[in-house]
Structure 1
Amino acid sequence: MPCNHFTPEEIDHKRREAKILPCQGQIVQEGARRLGITEQTDYRWRKVYIARFNGISF
């Protein structure tokens, strides 16, 4: 199964969209499906996204 590789700009854009979706009443699974990613990818990106703005590197 081929992997989709998103650029950092695409990830940033999708994460910003994902932050808005719960305010619109959508759950994580629906939001991830709408963005074309898995729920696990959303959580992984969230972890990295939060760490990046808090100055933590992996």
Structure 2
Amino acid sequence: MKKVKIHPLIIVGLFINTLGNGFSAYRLYDDDRTASIALTVLCLFTLTLAVYGIIRNRKINET
């Protein structure tokens, strides 16, 4: 089965989403710790997806 590359704009969108979640978590830290923790987890998750997408695209380009 042919491997499909992840479009670069999707990866850029994930990085923008990561920044937005990180800033929101920082802003809400004093007011609502539960929401801040949830946004931090989402931030780490989207960052992981973006880095995985970059690594996967590089591996597809090499083969």
- Note whether the superposition's TM-score is higher than 0.5: no
Please give the TM-score of this superposition, normalised by the length of structure 1. Answer: 0.41
State the TM-score, normalizing by the size of structure 2. Answer: 0.39
Which of the two has higher C-alpha Rg?
2
Q: Which has the larger share of helix? A: 2
